[in-house]
Structure 1
């Protein structure tokens, strides 16, 4: 299939839509990103790659990294992990304190901020050098050298008031085991990773391949864990817009406030879209529109 031509056709269709939303304003470094950037990359299990627009330009993947930290923690701890974090859609904002207090410090899922902080705490407990070992894990999946952005990590730290409240609340319930500052520092860094669309789609290809890295053939997680991670992405990958994204796009995926979205079609491909303008729910406005048209035009939803 001529994906490059399909990408161009869909982009020409969506660029006529009046611009809505804006870049993330609450993280100072992200507020500086050019809102007009747009890139798409698709990598399939045959090794074919298709790109469009700014697909080779690096951007901050933000919450998309939470899938990778979950994968690492899940492989280390197995089912024990679910004693500390749930698998249900949140139905509230990704940084809700109210829900967390009501549920006694157990986050609804690993992709809201509280859940990702618990996963970060688990990795701080399990790894000797969390930042290095996590980045090594990501590079193993990506097959290129990606890195943290010190500027983005520092920018997130400078305005981490709600995240600080979340982690302190969970600490009071006994669901954070390590030093809060160490966990927060690790969390800021994992969210600051920068990738291109091509690198991001390559990184997530293992979830289209039953947990096996398509290039190295190394088992990252077993088939059961891969299925469950994809299920959590389907149910919880888009903050409190997960239901609408599933309804319109029909693929498991994860978004980040850097404007990136990655989706997976099991046994076929992974795909990344980047457009920095966010809608009211914190998901890429044009990225979501693009994926909706993509899965509709060529019938590539999993449903």
Structure 2
């Protein structure tokens, strides 16, 4: 895979002129100020070799990409009983929709839409104060990336809390159905802080590597989850990882992935590599426009799609 470095540089060179396209997430004030021309790519293969280019070492707000890590934590704590509280089906609705939630009596469709991730935050909170739960999430991501410098951006966390009225509505709505076990403000505190994790493409690709290697970090040798659980998390990322654009992403890219409105996408090529891209301009579904195109180019050039070359 020696030509991967040339490939990431080619993808970056080809798509860099398009970075002004799309729209940054301006409903979170601190994200509205991000330079829309930023663009980074990092690939880490199972030998630990890193191929990267562009703004790949600049930390950005990973937002909903964090939902993969909190889901992994929740499954570690509660196992398959996690699915009693949240579904595993694609939503087909916007990531912050309340309509579907009412129709389905307060049970979120999957753990990657906001309502589902709020339920997952509630389950991670079990037995903890909000501060302890947030600390556990940060330490877990530091462990996955083997990087103790990863931290939460306090300005983004404050920005989320000050403007997260839709998420507050979702949480209160689920609380009315008895779906949350902790006080709403505690659950939202955990949720807003996990979304405010700041990571670079290189750190994010490293953190996702266990999902490319049957649940084991191939660099440290640590087993994070069983191979069956890694496969199932990947399945959820493929079907639900891009909100109501998940089918389109599977069609064009064909890799398990999780996007965030900060413009990051973490993708997994099982048995091959972990990939992270960052470009803040979003398409109409809230997914990185240039990041999605970069992953499509990568999948086409490498034949890494889970559906075959």
For normalisation by structure 2, the TM-score amounts to 0.96
Structure 2 partner of 1:132: 135
Q: Which sits farther off after the overlay, 125-134 or 166-175?
A: 125-134
Cα displacement (A) at 1:80 = 0.5
Structure 2 partner of 1:197: 201
Q: What is the aligned counterpart of 2:167 among 159, 163, 180?
A: 163
Q: Is the 8 A contact 1:127 1:133 kept in 2?
A: no
Give the whole-Å Cα distance in 1 for the aligned partners of 2:85 and 2:115: 11
Q: What is the aligned counterpart of 1:218 among 202, 207, 222?
A: 222
Give the whole-Å Cα distance in 1 for the aligned partners of 2:75 and 2:83: 9
Cα displacement (A) at 1:213 = 1.8
Superposed CA RMSD:
1.1
Q: Secondary structure of the equivalent of 1:29?
A: helix
For normalisation by structure 1, the TM-score amounts to 0.98
Give the whole-Å Cα distance in 2 for the aligned partners of 1:134 and 1:114: 18
Change (3 A) 1:18 1:120: closer
Give the whole-Å Cα distance in 2 for the aligned partners of 1:71 and 1:91: 23
Cα displacement (A) at 1:288 = 0.5
Would you say 1:300 and 2:301 are equivalent positions?
A: no
Give the whole-Å Cα distance in 1 for the aligned partners of 2:122 and 2:27: 24
Structure 1 partner of 2:73: 72
Give the whole-Å Cα distance in 1 for the aligned partners of 2:152 and 2:134: 9
> 1:209-257 deviations in whole A, cap 9, x for unaligned?
1111222222211111111100000000001000000000010010000
Cα displacement (A) at 1:9 = 1.5
> 1:276-300 deviations in whole A, cap 9, x for unaligned?
0001110001001111111112212
Structure 2 partner of 1:111: 112
Aligned residue pairs: how many? 303
Q: Is the 8 A contact 1:41 1:201 kept in 2?
A: yes
Q: Secondary structure of the equivalent of 2:152?
A: coil
Q: Is the 8 A contact 2:19 2:279 kept in 1?
A: no
Give the whole-Å Cα distance in 1 for the aligned partners of 2:17 and 2:180: 47
Q: Secondary structure of the equivalent of 1:51?
A: strand
Q: What is the aligned counterpart of 1:144 among 142, 147, 150?
A: 147
Give the whole-Å Cα distance in 2 for the aligned partners of 1:199 and 1:18: 22
Q: Which sits farther off after the overlay, 145-154 or 13-22?
A: 13-22
Structure 2 segments unaligned to the other structure (5+ residues): none
Give the whole-Å Cα distance in 2 for the aligned partners of 1:38 and 1:213: 26
Would you say 1:234 and 2:238 are equivalent positions?
A: yes
Would you say 1:274 and 2:278 are equivalent positions?
A: yes
Give the whole-Å Cα distance in 1 for the aligned partners of 2:69 and 2:48: 21
Structure 2 partner of 1:61: 62
Give the whole-Å Cα distance in 2 for the aligned partners of 1:18 and 1:105: 38
Give the whole-Å Cα distance in 1 for the aligned partners of 2:274 and 2:226: 18
Cα displacement (A) at 1:102 = 0.4
Structure 2 partner of 1:5: 6
Report 1:22-61 matches (<5 A): 22-61=23-62
Would you say 1:172 and 2:173 are equivalent positions?
A: no
Cα displacement (A) at 1:173 = 0.5
Runs of at least 4 residues of structure 1 off by over 3 A? 15-19
Give the whole-Å Cα distance in 1 for the aligned partners of 2:74 and 2:182: 15
